[in-house]
């Protein structure tokens, strides 16, 4: 096995573990959010499964088919979804961006955030983009973007959750949603060295 393939597999496994750990943690805090839906524990994390008999117990799918994250990996290589650091800086300067931090509020307090961003935790993204315009404005302090907006950019800590947020938004009809794959980690590192 080549080192690139091994690295890719390790990254995939670690990403899946992160997603599952977030789901389990959320389900322990919110035991009423369980159900047989297309998201695990009702928090907006997409699961790819064709198993209609799959059930969720303590935030985890009971079927092996729920662990197929190939469709997330398929869009990992799609560069039209990514906004690199330099482009993000330009978009922020121009004001032509709705930058959405999908981390939990505690993470924003502990690590900080990118100025000009709003916070919609990953578990709330699907519901947020289903809200009526007035409710979105009331909840997040900004106008709800149109479905064809090219200005929606998600970010998180290192890019995995923001990629899931893109997928969730696109499922809701926001076909041009993108993400900043470097996340707050790259942002802070780059800002400190520039």
Residue 8: C-alpha distances to residues 27, 43, 68, 113, 176 (Å) = 29, 26, 15, 28, 26
Beta strand 45-46 pairing with 39-40: antiparallel
66 part of the active site: no
Q: In DSSP terms, which residues pair with 100 in a beta bridge? A: 118, 154
Q: Which of 16, 61, 66, 156 is catalytic?
A: 156
Contacts of residue 91, defined as CB under 8 A and 6 or more positions apart, other chains included, come to 83, 97, 99, 151, 153
| Catalytic center residues | 156
């Amino acid at each position: 096995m080549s080192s690139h393939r091994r690295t890719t597999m390790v990254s995939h496994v670690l990403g899946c573990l992160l997603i599952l750990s977030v789901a389990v943690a959320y389900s322990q805090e919110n035991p009423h959010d369980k159900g047989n839906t297309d998201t695990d524990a009702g928090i907006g994390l997409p699961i790819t499964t064709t198993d209609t008999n799959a059930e969720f117990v303590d935030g985890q799918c009971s079927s092996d088919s729920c662990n197929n994250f190939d469709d997330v990996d398929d869009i990992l290589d799609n560069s039209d979804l990514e906004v690199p650091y330099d482009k993000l800086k330009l978009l922020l300067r121009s004001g032509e961006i709705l930058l959405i931090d999908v981390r939990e509020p505690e993470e924003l307090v502990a690590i900080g955030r990118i100025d000009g961003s709003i916070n919609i935790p990953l578990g709330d993204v699907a519901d947020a983009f289903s809200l009526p315009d007035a409710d979105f404005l009331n909840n997040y302090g900004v106008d709800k973007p149109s479905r064809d907006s090219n200005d929606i950019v998600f970010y998180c800590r290192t890019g995995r959750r923001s990629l899931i947020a893109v997928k969730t938004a696109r499922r809701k009809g926001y076909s041009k949603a993108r993400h900043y794959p470097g996340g707050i980690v790259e942002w802070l590192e780059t800002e400190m060295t520039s």
